[in-house]
């Protein structure tokens, strides 16, 4: 049997125009930067620039196809490429690897090289520059470059250069920019944007996603991706295929153009660490040679996520955000509920409660991968709004509500909603999927008294903090993929 069976994907538009400054090749042999850059984890005086060198300037086109993975039903022994329930199926190898993966649609094979960053505060005459340094071949030819000593509340421009080791001239350049967090006494207006659930087959443009250009129109301070950045489940059966998911996602022109212009924080969830509703000790034959631990390593490799992955950042006088970690510390979903059953783990919960209590920000936002309030579908067993995590869910909702100025923002769900917990009054804002094609999983006739807003559509989310008549105000908005405001909630500081 031919194990290298492929099916064709969607056509790909040409790369971004030269005047958008996304890729300038100056040497015919590379290395290049086909997967762009990411500006990550910005705070008031630092940021990390994710870089990666590639063998070619552009991704593989649709002629590369996608792999077909075969599965054996553990109950019947039948082979299929479309298992109805992954938990009962075993992925059958050998799986595409090495050069076979490099030929797939969206592939952008890595290559040896060096990178550096040139940067300056916008309007300044002189550039600062980091030292040239090699990318790490064992980390998918990536290099994370720390920029330190930055000025708070400032806009920076940068150029990321790549070259062959020891060469005199750069072989590719990407220009971009970002903002640093303002100092804690700064109460000027600030806007941020949030997205989730970017399933590659459900993108809504041939070259990526509509939402990215619309988000840039808001001139955001920062961007948060709340997880399910990629979906490993069906096709990532080894590390090479897992990394290919990132290559085809972040070589999309819309993604390259967006991430060179705004700083980002990435949060992982089940599909971009391993598989649906997973936990660290879960056992399955569905994922082939790919393990949960490998997924844990690849996520920060591809996003420059800080460790530990639960963290907080202050953004001026009136806003502080917390990013909880929802996969690394959880106990199995299927054990009996009780005080020891957890998603966040004791150490993380202690940190969250302590830092949120200590904060004097006017608004405290917990931006996480999965719901805290819901409501969710009755058959779900993976988040704090589900009955199987009732004990910890009630603990967290009571704590957040008791702060008086805290709100939950979540990803994971493929529909937009605003809800208020009937017991504690805690409000939650679900971002909704990144495209209309990926929206679903809920119905309007399932609306409950907890829902203040419900919409089964794709799009994105924003928050704006500002002072009105000297008082802090938070405005939270849901958008369509085309940037139309679908819902708005205004909250005053208490």
CB-CB contact of 47 with 263 (8 Å): yes
According to the model, what pLDDT value does residue 494 have? 82
Query: CA 273 to CA 296: how far, in whole Å?
Result: 6
CB-CB contact of 17 with 238 (8 Å): no
Average pLDDT score over residue span 260-274: 99
Q: Give pLDDT tens digits for 80-137.
A: 998 877 778 999 999 999 999 999 999 999 999 999 999 999 999 999 999 999 999 9
Query: CA 314 to CA 239: how far, in whole Å?
Result: 35
Cα-based angle 275, 279, 280 (whole degrees, multiple of 5): 110
CB-CB contact of 439 with 432 (8 Å): yes
According to the model, what pLDDT value does residue 86 have? 73
Prior bond to 308 cis, omega within 30? yes
Query: CA 298 to CA 302: how far, in whole Å?
Result: 6
HSE, CB side, 13 Å, CA atoms: give it for residue 137. 5
Architecture field, domain 190-227+305-492: 4-Layer Sandwich (3.60)
**β-pairing, 70-73 with 89-92?**
antiparallel
According to the model, what pLDDT value does residue 75 have? 86
Query: CA 233 to CA 236: how far, in whole Å?
Result: 6
Q: Is the pLDDT of residue 292 over 60?
A: yes
Query: CA 314 to CA 182: how far, in whole Å?
Result: 8
Element counts in the chain: helices (H) and strands (E):
7, 27
Distance of CA 417 to the CA centre of its chain: 19
According to the model, what pLDDT value does residue 261 have? 99
Report which of 403, 378, 385 is spatially closest to residue 320, judged by C-alpha positions: 403
Q: Give pLDDT tens digits for 334-384.
A: 999 999 999 999 999 999 999 999 999 999 999 999 999 999 999 999 999
Residue 314, helix vs strand vs coil: strand
Query: CA 249 to CA 239: how far, in whole Å?
Result: 16
Query: CA 349 to CA 198: how far, in whole Å?
Result: 28
CB-CB contact of 349 with 330 (8 Å): no
According to the model, what pLDDT value does residue 12 have? 29
**Burial class (CB within 10 angstroms; exposed 0-12, middle 13-18, buried 19+) of 197:** buried
If you write DSSP's letter for every residue of 204-230 in order, what string do you get? Answer: SBTTB-THHHHHHTT--SEEEE-S-SS
CATH of 6-60+106-179, one of 1.10.10.10, 3.20.20.450, 1.25.40.340, 2.60.40.10: 2.60.40.10
The structure tokens listed for 130 are 């980091």
How many Å is the Cα radius of gyration of the chain?
A: 22
According to the model, what pLDDT value does residue 27 have? 58
The residues, any chain, with a CB within 8 Å of residue 73's CB and separated by 6 or more, are 79, 80, 83, 88, 89
Q: How many CB atoms lie within 10 A of CB 367?
A: 23
Query: CA 316 to CA 189: how far, in whole Å?
Result: 9
Q: Is the pLDDT of residue 467 over 80?
A: yes
Handedness of CA 350, 355, 356, 358 (dihedral sign): positive
Distance of CA 156 to the CA centre of its chain: 23
pTM of full prediction above 0.75: yes
Tell me the domain boundaries of the chain: 6-60+106-179, 190-227+305-492
Report which of 368, 138, 380, 119 is spatially closest to residue 243, judged by C-alpha positions: 138
> Sheet holding 263-266: strands in order across?
142-148, 46-52, 38-40, 263-266, 222-225, 190-195, 460-468, 471-479, 485-492
If you write DSSP's letter for every residue of 231-260 in order, what string do you get? Answer: --TTT--SHHHHHHHHHHHHTSHHHHHHHT
Query: CA 268 to CA 324: how far, in whole Å?
Result: 10
H or E segment to which residue 476 belongs: strand 471-479
Cα-based angle 285, 288, 291 (whole degrees, multiple of 5): 90
Q: Which residue has the tokens 């959880």?
A: 330
According to the model, what pLDDT value does residue 88 have? 83
The structure tokens listed for 40 are 């990550």
At residue 8 the predicted structure's pLDDT band, cuts being 50, 70 and 90, is very low
Q: Is the pLDDT of residue 193 over 70?
A: yes
According to the model, what pLDDT value does residue 13 have? 29
**β-pairing, 263-266 with 38-40?**
parallel
According to the model, what pLDDT value does residue 3 have? 29
According to the model, what pLDDT value does residue 138 have? 98
Q: How many CB atoms lie within 10 A of CB 286?
A: 23
CB-CB contact of 463 with 474 (8 Å): yes
């Amino acid at each position: 049997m031919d194990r290298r069976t492929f099916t064709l994907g969607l056509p790909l538009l040409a790369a971004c125009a030269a005047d958008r400054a996304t890729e300038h090749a100056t040497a015919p042999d590379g290395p290049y930067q086909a997967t762009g850059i990411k500006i990550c984890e910005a705070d008031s005086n630092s940021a990390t620039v994710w870089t990666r060198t590639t063998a070619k300037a552009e991704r593989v086109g649709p002629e590369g196809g996608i792999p077909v993975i075969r599965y054996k039903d553990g109950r019947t022994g039948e082979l299929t490429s479309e298992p109805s329930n992954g938990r009962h199926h075993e992925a059958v190898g050998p799986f595409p690897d090495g050069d076979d993966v490099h030929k797939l649609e969206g592939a952008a094979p890595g290559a040896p090289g060096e990178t550096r960053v040139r940067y300056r505060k916008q309007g300044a005459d002189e550039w600062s520059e980091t030292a040239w340094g090699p990318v790490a071949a064992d980390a998918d030819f990536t290099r994370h470059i720390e920029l330190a000593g930055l000025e708070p509340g400032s806009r920076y421009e940068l150029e990321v250069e790549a070259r062959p080791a020891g060469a005199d001239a750069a072989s590719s350049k990407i220009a971009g920019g970002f903002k640093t967090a303002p100092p804690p006494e700064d109460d000027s207006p600030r806007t941020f944007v949030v997205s989730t659930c970017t399933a590659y087959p459900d993108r809504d443009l041939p070259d990526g996603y509509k939402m990215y250009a619309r988000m840039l129109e808001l001139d955001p301070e920062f961007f948060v991706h709340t997880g399910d950045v990629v979906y490993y489940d069906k096709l990532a059966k080894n590390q090479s295929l897992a990394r290919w998911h990132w290559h085809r996602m972040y070589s999309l022109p819309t993604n390259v153009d967006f991430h060179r212009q705004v700083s980002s924080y990435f949060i992982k969830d089940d599909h971009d660490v391993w598989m649906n509703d997973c936990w660290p000790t879960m056992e399955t034959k569905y994922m082939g040679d790919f393990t949960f631990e490998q997924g844990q390593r690849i996520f920060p490799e591809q996003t420059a996520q800080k460790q530990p992955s639960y963290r907080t950042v202050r953004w001026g006088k009136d806003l502080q955000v917390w990013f909880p970690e929802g996969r690394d510390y959880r106990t199995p979903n299927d054990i009996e509920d009780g005080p020891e059953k957890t998603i966040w783990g004791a150490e993380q919960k202690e940190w969250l409660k302590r830092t949120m209590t200590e904060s004097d920000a006017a608004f405290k936002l917990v931006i996480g991968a999965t719901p805290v309030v819901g409501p969710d579908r009755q058959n779900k067993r993976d988040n704090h709004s589900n009955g199987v995590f009732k004990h910890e869910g009630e603990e967290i909702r009571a704590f957040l509500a008791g702060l008086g100025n805290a709100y939950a923002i979540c990803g994971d769900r493929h529909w937009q909603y605003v809800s208020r917990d009937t017991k504690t009054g805690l409000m939650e804002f679900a971002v909704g999927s990144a495209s209309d094609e990926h929206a679903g999983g809920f119905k309007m006739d399932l609306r409950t008294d907890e829902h203040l807003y419900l919409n089964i559509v794709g799009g994105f989310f924003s928050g704006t903090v500002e002072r009105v008549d000297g008082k802090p105000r938070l405005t939270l908005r849901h958008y369509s993929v085309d940037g139309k405001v679908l819902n708005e909630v205004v909250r005053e500081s208490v």
